[in-house]
Amino acid sequence: MQSQSELRQSITDRLVTALKSGTDKIPWRRPWRTLGPRLPTNHVTGRAYCGVYILTLWLAAQEKNYPVDLWASFNQWKSIGASVKKGEKAERIVFYSQVKKRKKDENNVEKVDTIPILKSWSVFNVAQVEGKSVEQFQPRSSPVVKFDNLGREEFDRAVAATGAEIRMGGDRAYYKRLPDDFVQVPYEEQFESFAAYAETVLHEVGGHWSEHRLGWSGSYAEGELRAEITACFLAASLGVPDSGDLTNHAKYLASWLKAIEDGDTKFIFRASSAASKAAEYFLSFSRPTEEAAESETDIVAEADAVAA
């Protein structure tokens, strides 16, 4: 059993390798439309994963060329009549469970501290299993689709629902902090594509506009990484195709790598967790009744059931 630091380090190392391979290998940049769900999803529960799960499963799908982002544990696949193919290896995801520890303070008064413990869980992609219940998800040819402004209506509706003040014009995109509290972006026609425009708006509104509302803190590089991942989570959720523009990623890549390689293995966990919360916050205005994402609590409950 790996320690908490070893688990964090193993995931961090994979992400660092992807980052060093070039900006086109960044797991949250996906300049194509995926088959199946927009975000990695547990096939049995029907819930999308959140936080660092999204990054690790996107990265695994990228490395192994899985076309459909449907995942589940060995027992979950078995529960629907599917079986993992012989020789297939699981992808490990991590989650936090809460452990209560009693101790006495300097006045000999007993108190209970809640300590987060990092654990791992194994899942398999639908491409790794077989059975009638999953035949429809096996790779097959896809009809030609015209992507122009695909997902535009959902994007416009979601942005408008936040109530964020967006001012158009100029040649810069930024969020003006309180007390001004507005987002500035160039006119849409100044962008090379709708996707590039949408990603910029999602970066500024989904990321920076949410900062003071969600209590974000940290370095400038971490803030930009959170906003970038948030924009990509939202673009995937809203069906906005990736623009392929890696300018911001290349710009901040050195800062991200330095923070990670300086020994801050929690950097990517903090950023991805915050980005997931920011995306949920952004979407809550237009999807108030949307089902909750596959959470750490759900996975812990399943793990405890199996252990029992």
Long-range contacts of 183-187 (CB under 8 A, 24+ apart): 183/208, 183/209
Report the alpha-carbon distance of residue 144 to residue 169 in Å, rounded. 35
Count up the domains in the chain and report the number: 1
Mean pLDDT of the 293-298 span: 47
Q: Tell me the pLDDT band of 296, cut-offs 50, 70 and 90.
A: very low
Q: Tell me the pLDDT band of 78, cut-offs 50, 70 and 90.
A: very high
Contact (CB, 8 A) for 124 and 71: yes
pLDDT of amino acid 128: 93
Contact (CB, 8 A) for 124 and 77: yes
Phi/psi region, residue 227 (left: phi>0; alpha: psi -120 to 50; beta: rest), is alpha
In a 10 Å sphere around its CB, with 0-12 CB exposed, 13-18 middle and 19+ buried, how is residue 134 labelled? buried
Q: Inform me whether the pLDDT recorded for 38 exceeds 50.
A: yes
How many helical (H) and strand (E) elements, i.e. helices and strands, does the chain have?
10, 9
pLDDT of amino acid 170: 78
Q: Inform me whether the pLDDT recorded for 67 exceeds 50.
A: yes
Report the alpha-carbon distance of residue 33 to residue 67 in Å, rounded. 10
Radius of gyration of the chain (CA): 20
Domain carrying residue 44: 4-140+147-307
More confident residue, 244 or 179: 179
268-295 per-position pLDDT tens digit: 777 878 888 898 999 999 987 554 455 4
